[in-house]
Amino acid sequence: MTETTDAATREQQALIDTLPTDFRWGVATAAYQIEGAVAEDGRTPSIWDTFCRVPWAIDNNDNGDVACDHYHRMPADVALVPELGADSYRFSVAWPRIQPHGRGAINEAGIGFYERLVDELLARDVTPWLTLYHWDLPQELEDAGGWPSRDTAYRFADYSMLVFDRLKDRVRHWTTLNEPWCSAMHGYVNGVMAPGRRDFAAGMQAVHHLLLGHGLATQRMREAAPPETQFGITLNMSTNDPATDSEADREAARNADGLGIRIYLDPLVHGRYPADIEADLAARGAELPVQDGDLQVISAPLDFLGVNYYFGVQLSGVDEQGRTIGQDGSPVQREVPFGEPTTAMGWEILPGKFTELLTRLGRDYPGLPIYITENGSAFDDQPDETGYVADGGRTAYLASHLAAVAQARRQGTDIRGYFAWSLLDNFEWAYGYAKRFGLIRVDYETQQRTIKQSGYFFRDTVRRVRDRQRSPDRG
Ligand code: FCB
């Protein structure tokens, strides 16, 4: 076996080695990013199919029509999961495969695919970690108002129950939403993701209805759940530091933290929205459309929190022209680089901020076990003639971020697992196929899969941690 673990520094390796034997090691994907087969077995368009048809909404005008062709290659792809040493696989279910019209009876052919996927995983001793919503809202529901409409929350709960009833005998870990911040902000406020709307007030309505949908679905599933079933939600979070100590910068950081973290976790964990953010919204003519009883539903008990981390940011409340209010009338939030190296996404590589974020979450939202449900990096891979990629940058990112997780655990944060993003190179939303996050390379011409150096590093790290713990004297 290639000894790849020396890609980590001694210090990083020593930290990673403190992770426990029962630490969960997984890899993650999402339906629209890998499946393809968008018009098969009764699937109808989601907001992403529609958005990809908008000229230049996506780099290179790419779309998810074929993607990694995973819908047709599923058993072979599942076989790659244990090859990477992973014991768990995080995937999402495509709502328009289950309910092509966003409501009504289950589509047998659609659920059949996920039944086979789960069976395949279990046959290989891999734990399925299911996400119900990773952004592919049925287009018909968007046409009816989308997430800014309250009805979508009830539709989501109905859809969740259809999936739950069919898979609850085999799936123990259920995640309602992936990154509601992206759905609300990128989908409805800045329009860079589907459905591409630009309306701040609609975005804030979406925030509340996403959370309400999460709460309604969690309540209903839990009532019908076999013992040991666990429910959670996955949030993307960054750290938000003020660029300087000025009041304007501190204000920008407070607001970004409020809209990025507290607006989700405060209602989920504490049953209330942050008062400073409610005031900010009112000042902008927006509001969270809360009705009686909603916050009780949203704060239904959770078994775990999924954390997706990629980078931290530093913010200024003053733009380059010295203004604190931007042209669109919203308060300025300008990102000021720390000056660290970046990935191909332009995201600064800040593992220390990962530790900071995790310890803060443990402190402000105690009692909630954390799983890292995504972390990873895009780099401009250069394959050799066999398709192998010596992706030193991605490997180093993985090593430093695993060490950051171990560091946060040592500082007392209850972190139970880590899912690498991603199993495969895939359709990276608005960036199309140009950005590659896989531990496994996909040649989109031939659909050939080739494990990268980072994939071997991941595998060897998992083995090393497990072996060490089993026979500490070998240390
Ligand atoms: C996250 C998404 C995931 C992937 C990574 C890079 O925001 O959840 O689907 O695209 O970013």
Give the atom of ligand 1 at the shortest distance from the alpha carbon of 376. Answer: 6
Query: Average of pLDDT values for 292-311?
Result: 98
Q: Is 321 inside any structural domain?
A: yes
CA distance 63 to 432: 7
Q: Is 151 inside any structural domain?
A: yes
Residue nearest to atom 4 of ligand 1 (CA): 428
Query: Average of pLDDT values for 457-472?
Result: 84
Q: Is 360 inside any structural domain?
A: yes
> In angstroms, what is the span from residue 441 Cα to ligand 1's centroid?
17
Residue 444 has pLDDT above 50, yes or no: yes
Q: What is the pLDDT of residues 120-154, one digit of tens each?
A: 999 999 999 999 999 999 999 999 999 999 999 99
Q: Is 475 inside any structural domain?
A: no
| Domain count across the chain | 1
Q: What is the pLDDT of residues 351-403, one digit of tens each?
A: 999 999 999 999 999 999 999 999 999 999 999 999 999 999 999 999 999 99
**Which mutation among 34, 428, 435 tests ligand 1's pocket best, with the greatest number of atoms within 8 A of CB?**
428
> In angstroms, what is the span from residue 236 Cα to ligand 1's centroid?
9
User: What percentage of the chain reaches a pLDDT higher than 90?
Assistant: 95
Ligand 1 neighbour 92 (Cβ under 6 A): no
Q: Is 55 inside any structural domain?
A: yes
Kindly report the CATH number assigned to the domain that includes residue 214: 3.20.20.80
> In angstroms, what is the span from residue 29 Cα to ligand 1's centroid?
9
Residue 36's domain comprises 5-470
Ligand 1 neighbour 354 (Cβ under 6 A): no
